[in-house]
Amino acid sequence: MRLFGRKNEPDDPAEAIARFWSWWEENRPALDRHAASGDTEALAELLGPAVAALHPSLIWEVTPGKGALHALVVSAAADPELRPLAHRWAKAAPPADAFWEFYPSRQASSQPEEVSFEVNGLTLDLGRLVMALHVPPGSPRVNITAYHPIFPDLDDDTRMEATLLALDRLLGEDEVARWVGDIVPAASEPIDAFAAIHLPAVVADVAEGFTEEQWVALEGRTNTGRRLTAAARFPLRPVDFPLYDQHIAITLPYRDTDDEGQPVGGSAEALREFEERLVKRLTELGDAVLVAHVSAEGCRVLHVYADPEGGAAEELRRLAAGWPEGQAGVDVTADPAWSAVAPFLS
C-alpha cells in the first residue's frame, strides 16, 4: 500500500542512515547472494527490518538497475514529510557498482509495455492500461482517468493503489509528484482513452512550458479586510527541492504604506533591494531557495526553504539584521511538507 500510519521519527535521522549503511556493508555478501539467486524471501528478511529501522513508513523494493544488475529503492511512498529522509538515505549511499545502485523513489521503466504486476491475484499489465487525460490551460498538472480490464473486479481503494503503482512505473515516482494532478481509477473505460504507455510523451509536452523560472502574483484580504499581496514560484513543489525541509520565515516591517498597508515609496524600494540581496546570497550558498513572499498590514514575510545541513539560517539572520525599517524577525522551523506555503503549492 502507498499510505501508511505515521509513527514517530527516529531521534536522529542522520544516525539512522549511518547505521543502515554500516549494516549494508556488513551484510553485503548475503544480500548479493540472495539477489543473484532471486531469493526474494531471504532478501525481505534482511532488508525489511533494516529499512524499517530508518522509518517504519518507508517502503522498499529491489528492481533491475539501469547501470547495475540490481537497484535498491527506498521510497517515501509519496509522503512529502518522509521524502527528505529517503533522499538523504540515497545521498549517503556508497557509489553504484556493477551489482547495486540506489534510488530514493520508484523509477520509470524503460519498457513499460512489458511491465506487469499482481493485484489481488489478478495481473495488471501496463500494455493494456488506458487513460483519458485533461490538462487545464496554463496548469502544470495532467489530470488522469485510468482504466484496466481488471478494474471492475477491484474495490475503489485497490484500484487507486494499482493506478498509483502503474503511474510510478510509467513516469517515475518523482515525476508523478511533479506533473500528475487528479487521478480517477475508473470501473469502465473512458470514451476518449488511449494507451497509457504514451503518457510520458504527454507529460514531457506539458513540462516544456515550465522550463524557465516563473512567478505568479496573487491578491487577497486579511482577516481585517485589508489588502494582501503575494508572489510565489510557479510551479511550486517540494519534490523539486527534496532536501530543503527547513523553513526560514523572514518578517520585515516597513514604514511607507498606502491606505491598505501595502508598501510604497522608499519602503517598496528597500524591500526590492533586500530581496535582490537575499536571492544573490541564496544563489551563492546553493542550498536554499526563496519560494514566496506575502505583504500585508505593514509587514512582508519572505518564505525560504533550505537544507538544514547548510548554513542558510545563520546567513539570513545576519542579512535580516541589517534591515533599516524596524526589527526584522527570522523564524526557523522544520517543515518537510512545506505546510507554511501550502496555499501556493501547485
Distance CA 233, CA 99 (A): 40
pLDDT band at 45 (very low <50, low <70, confident <90, very high): very high
Q: 290 - beta bridge partners?
A: 304
Residue type, 7: K
The average pLDDT across 328-338 equals 97
The pLDDT tens digits for 251-291 are: 999 999 999 999 999 999 999 999 999 999 999 999 999 99
| Peptide bond between residue 104 and the one before it cis (omega within 30 degrees of 0) | no
**DSSP E strand boundaries for 180-245:** 180-185, 194-195, 215-221, 227-233
CATH fold group of domain 215-344: Alpha-Beta Plaits (3.30.70)
pLDDT of the residue at 11: 60
State the burial class of residue 76 (Cβ atoms within 10 Å of its Cβ: 0-12, 13-18, 19+): buried
pLDDT band at 7 (very low <50, low <70, confident <90, very high): very low
Say if residue 4's pLDDT is above 80.
Answer: no
The pLDDT tens digits for 176-210 are: 999 999 999 999 999 999 999 999 999 999 999 99
Distance CA 245, CA 83 (A): 9
State whether the Cα torsion 101-105-106-111 is positive or negative.
Answer: negative
Q: Is 114 helix (H, G, I), strand (E, B) or coil?
A: helix
Report field, pTM of the whole predicted structure over 0.75: yes
The pLDDT tens digits for 124-180 are: 999 999 999 999 999 999 999 999 999 999 999 999 999 999 999 999 999 999 999
The pLDDT tens digits for 88-98 are: 999 999 999 99
Instruction: Say what percent of the chain tops pLDDT 90.
Output: 95
The ranges of the chain annotated as CATH 3.30.70 are 215-344
pLDDT of the residue at 78: 86
